[in-house]
Structure 1
Amino acid sequence: MKNSALQKHYIFFIGEELPQPEAHLVQSTNAANGAANLGYSTVLVYLEKGAKAINPANLARPFQPRETPTELIKYYNLHDKLKVAPLPMPWPIDHFRSKFTDSNTIASKYYLPFHILPTTKLVHSRNWNFVKAAIKNGVPAIYEHHHHEDKPFEPEIVKNPLLQIAVTVIDTIRESMIKNGMPPEKVITMHNGFNRLFMERQPEKATEWRQKLLQDESQKLVVYAGALQQFKGIDVLIDVAQEMPNVEFACAGGKPKDIEYYQQLVKEKQVHNIKFLGYILHNDLASLLQAADVLAHPHCSGKAATFTSPLKLFDYFASGTPIVATKIPSLVEFQNTQAFTGGVGEAIAAWCEPDNPSKFAECLKRVLETHPRKIEGYPDSINFVKQFSWENRAAKILSYVDKSLLPQVVL
Structure 2
Amino acid sequence: MSEKSMSQYYVFFTRNILPQPNVASLVQVAHSANAAANLGYPAVLVYLRKGWSALNPVDLIFPFQPRKPDDKLAKIYNLQGQLKVADLPLPWPIDFGNSKWTNPSTIVSKYYLPIHLLKSTKIVHSRDWNFVKAAIKNGIPAIYEQHHHEDKQFEPEIVRDPLFQIAVTVADTVRQSTIENGMPPEKVITLHNGFNQLFLARQTASAENWRQQLLAGERHYLAVYAGGLYPFKGVDMLVDVARELPEVQFAIAGGDSSQVTAYQQLAKDKQVNNINFLGYLPQNQLASLLQAADVLTHPHCLTKAATFTSPLKFFDYMASGSAIVATEIASLMEFKSGNIAAIWCEPDNPHKFAQSIRDSLAKYPRRSEGYAETLNFVKQFSWENRIQKILSYVDDSVVGCVSTQAINN
TM-score between the two structures when normalised by the length of structure 2:
0.96
Q: Distance in 2 between matches of 1:198 and 1:60?
A: 40
Quote how far apart the aligned CAs of 1:310 are: 2.8
Find the counterpart in structure 2 of residue 298 from structure 1.
Answer: 299
Quote how far apart the aligned CAs of 1:57 are: 1.8
Equivalent residues of 2:66, 2:85 under 8 A apart: yes
Is 1:395 aligned to 2:388, yes or no? Answer: yes
Find the counterpart in structure 1 of residue 208 from structure 2.
Answer: 207
SS of 1:409's equivalent in the other structure is helix
Find the counterpart in structure 2 of residue 12 from structure 1.
Answer: 12
Match of 1:409 among 397, 406, 409: 406
Q: Distance in 2 between matches of 1:188 and 1:93?
A: 35
Find the counterpart in structure 2 of residue 41 from structure 1.
Answer: 42
1:84-121 deviation per Cα after TM superposition (whole angstroms, max 9, x unaligned): 01000111222222221111221111100110111100
Find the counterpart in structure 1 of residue 149 from structure 2.
Answer: 148
SS of 1:330's equivalent in the other structure is helix
Q: Distance in 1 between matches of 2:217 and 2:284?
A: 26
Q: Distance in 2 between matches of 1:348 and 1:76?
A: 27
Q: Distance in 1 between matches of 2:395 and 2:378?
A: 28
Find the counterpart in structure 2 of residue 327 from structure 1.
Answer: 328
Please tell me the residue identity of whatever aligns with 1:80: G
Equivalent residues of 2:341, 2:371 under 8 A apart: no
SS of 1:309's equivalent in the other structure is coil
Find the counterpart in structure 1 of residue 356 from structure 2.
Answer: 363
Find the counterpart in structure 2 of residue 71 from structure 1.
Answer: 72
Structure 2 regions of 5+ residues with no counterpart?
none
Find the counterpart in structure 2 of residue 377 from structure 1.
Answer: 370
1:291-315 deviation per Cα after TM superposition (whole angstroms, max 9, x unaligned): 1100000111121101111311111
SS of 1:260's equivalent in the other structure is helix
Q: Distance in 2 between matches of 1:30 and 1:217?
A: 39
**Which piece of structure 1 moves more, 313-322 or 211-220?**
211-220
CA separation of 1:217/1:403 partners in 2, compared to 1, >3 Å: closer, same or farther?
Answer: farther
Quote how far apart the aligned CAs of 1:183 are: 0.3
**Which piece of structure 1 moves more, 367-376 or 320-329?**
367-376
Q: Distance in 1 between matches of 2:166 and 2:35?
A: 18
Find the counterpart in structure 2 of residue 111 from structure 1.
Answer: 112
Equivalent residues of 1:325, 1:348 under 8 A apart: no
The structure 1 segments of at least 4 consecutive aligned residues displaced by more than 4 Å after TM superposition are 2-5
SS of 2:236's equivalent in the other structure is helix
Q: Percent identity?
A: 62
Q: Distance in 1 between matches of 2:335 and 2:11?
A: 32
Please tell me the residue identity of whatever aligns with 1:9: Y
Number of aligned pairs? 402
SS of 2:406's equivalent in the other structure is coil
**Which piece of structure 1 moves more, 304-313 or 10-19?**
304-313
Equivalent residues of 1:135, 1:141 under 8 A apart: yes
Q: What is the root-mean-square deviation of aligned Cα atoms in Å?
A: 1.3
SS of 1:276's equivalent in the other structure is strand
Equivalent residues of 1:335, 1:348 under 8 A apart: no
Q: Distance in 2 between matches of 1:105 and 1:350?
A: 49
Find the counterpart in structure 2 of residue 224 from structure 1.
Answer: 225
Q: Distance in 1 between matches of 2:3 and 2:208?
A: 44
Structure 1 regions of 5+ residues with no counterpart?
338-345
SS of 1:393's equivalent in the other structure is helix
